[in-house]
């Protein structure tokens, strides 16, 4: 068994979703989570803050962000493995041993919620049956990233045509905050559309934003790095010059809207299979 500890033992959110990431190994008894004082074999460190490199203890860095937006604090070749949603730029690696770079990619959308991704897909049919009482929703709570301003602009363009309910910290017009966790999907399910642009653009950078709209039975209004992985008919591309006209056409054609919201968002559903094989090869086998 590989004994894993955390660099930040009080970062409950990081521990929660990385626990989801490693769940298959934990359930199979191949990984055990221990405290730093309990002689671990590997430390997991977050991209969010600097950390120490304890003597004799390998460290794996884990990121769920765009590397250019949240760059690493140390050269990546110092790590036993680097785990991220998209490949880090070559210049972050620095000097180090020859050979393949120890990078492992994973789909963050598969671990964002505490329920397994397969269970969320199984629940989708029930959420597709929820009556649509609202037109469109928008939930953004920060302005970090090179697309942060564009997200607000897209909201303002759509809201100028028809009211959009904003239930995040930014441009809030509901007087409340949207719920978190799986309850968030139930809240989204009341709406026909959801504005869910990524916070930034980078090759391969895809988060949970569009998927959570689709899982809830709403059509995502999306822009970001996921377009190569998505079924274009299952969303409205906010980067298209005529996106608002497309939105208006779907509002006017109930049958076409219904057909498109039921389509699978992903060409290939997110899976941890590739991540687990690479992780096992680098750190377990």
Domain ranges of the chain: 2-107+270-284, 117-261
CA distance 148 to 201: 10
* Predicted local distance difference test score (pLDDT) of residue 228: 86
Residues 6+ apart with CB under 8 A from 39: 3
Strand 103-105 and strand 42-46: the pairing is unpaired
CA distance 33 to 50: 21
- Asked whether the CA dihedral 17, 214, 185, 150 is positive or negative, the reply is positive
**Closest of 85, 81, 41 to residue 60, by C-alpha:** 81
CA distance 239 to 61: 33
Q: Which residues of the chain have pLDDT under 50?
A: none
CB of 139 closer than 8 Å to CB of 168: yes
**pTM higher than the cut 0.85:** yes
Cβ burial of 176 (10 Å; 0-12, 13-18, 19+) is: exposed
* Predicted local distance difference test score (pLDDT) of residue 97: 67
CATH number of 117-261: 3.40.50.11660
Compute the half-sphere exposure of residue 163: CA atoms within 13 Å on the CB side of its CA: 7
DSSP-derived letter for residue 282 is I
Give, rounded to a whole angstrom, the gap between the first and last alpha carbons of the chain: 11
DSSP-derived letter for residue 242 is T
Q: How far is CA 4 from the centre of its chain?
A: 23
* Predicted local distance difference test score (pLDDT) of residue 100: 79
CA distance 11 to 89: 26
Q: Which residues of 198-223 are buried (b: 16+ CB within 10 A; e: fewer)?
A: bbbbbeebbbbbbbbbbbbbbbbbbb
* Predicted local distance difference test score (pLDDT) of residue 144: 87
**Closest of 109, 113, 158 to residue 137, by C-alpha:** 158
Q: Does domain 2-107+270-284 have CATH number 3.40.50?
A: yes
CB of 222 closer than 8 Å to CB of 197: yes
């Amino acid at each position: 068994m590989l004994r894993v500890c955390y660099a930040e033992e009080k970062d409950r959110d990081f521990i929660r979703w990385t626990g989801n990431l490693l769940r298959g190994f934990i359930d199979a008894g191949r990984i055990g989570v221990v405290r730093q004082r309990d002689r671990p074999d590997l430390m997991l460190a977050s991209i969010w803050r600097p950390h120490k490199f304890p003597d004799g203890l390998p460290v794996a860095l884990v990121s769920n962000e765009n590397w250019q937006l949240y760059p690493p604090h140390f050269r990546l070749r110092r790590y036993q493995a680097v785990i991220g949603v998209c490949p880090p730029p070559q210049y972050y690696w620095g000097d180090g041993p020859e050979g393949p770079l120890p990078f492992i990619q994973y789909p963050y959308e598969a671990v964002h919620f505490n329920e397994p991704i397969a269970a969320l897909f199984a629940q989708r049919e029930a959420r597709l049956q929820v009556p649509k009482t609202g037109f469109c929703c928008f939930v953004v709570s920060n302005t970090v990233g090179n697309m942060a301003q564009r997200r607000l602009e897209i909201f303002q363009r759509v809201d100028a045509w028809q009211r959009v309910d904003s239930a995040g910290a930014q441009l809030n017009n509901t007087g409340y905050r949207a719920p978190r966790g799986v309850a968030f999907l139930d809240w989204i399910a009341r709406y026909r559309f959801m504005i869910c642009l990524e916070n930034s653009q980078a090759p391969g950078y895809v988060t949970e934003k569009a998927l959570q709209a689709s899982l809830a039975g709403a059509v995502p209004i999306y822009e970001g790095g996921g377009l190569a992985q998505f079924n274009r008919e299952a969303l409205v591309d906010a980067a298209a010059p005529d996106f608002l006209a497309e939105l208006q056409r779907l509002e006017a054609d109930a049958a076409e809207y219904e057909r498109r919201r039921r389509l699978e968002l992903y060409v290939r559903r997110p899976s941890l299979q590739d991540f687990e094989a690479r992780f096992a090869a680098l750190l377990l086998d």
